[in-house]
Amino acid sequence: MLTIAVQMLKDDEEARDAVNDVFAKLTDGSLVLPKENPERYLMTTIRNLCITRIRQMSLRERIKRRLSLSEPSHTSMESTQEMAKEMIDYAEKAFTKQTWAVFQLRFDEGLKYKEIAEQLRISEVAVYKHLAEALKKLKEKFNPTKQ
């Protein structure tokens, strides 16, 4: 369970917390193991908990974690934070107001396409197109060799 949590969350301490949360729920009775495939149930539970935690992270935190994985280990945390800030600053300037709003609602607030469409009064297809454009611009600017 810990291995899965570390792979998903990219943070040893947070992964341990997630696994501890699952066992705490077992202890207090709010989580009951089925008689068949209890290991599978635990693995699914930790996976779902990690997904929930990832969704709750802010956009800045997600970018910071993603960058810290792709950078060499000698890179300082400060430069990782600077790069994350640079990406956010670039996005705010390069995206249209509508694209920026869609991007924030999706990655900062974790809303689904339908929820974004309802909130901004646009179609779900428009939400998809705005996100595709945003990701394309970020890739072009920050990862030009992998297009």
Single-letter residue type at 143: N
**First CA to last CA distance, the chain:** 34
pLDDT of residue 74: 45
d(CA 138, CA 141): 5
d(CA 42, CA 40): 5
- Tens-digit pLDDT string for the chain (147 aa): 989 988 888 778 888 988 998 888 888 888 898 999 989 999 999 999 988 888 777 666 766 665 555 444 444 555 666 777 788 889 889 999 999 999 988 877 888 889 999 999 999 899 999 988 988 888 888 776 654
d(CA 54, CA 103): 16
Q: What angle do CA 29, 51, 15 make, to 5 degrees?
A: 70
- CB-based contacts of 77: which residues, under 8 Å, 6+ apart? 68
Which domains, and CATH codes, for the chain?
A: 2-56 (no CATH), 59-142 (1.10.10.10)
d(CA 142, CA 32): 45
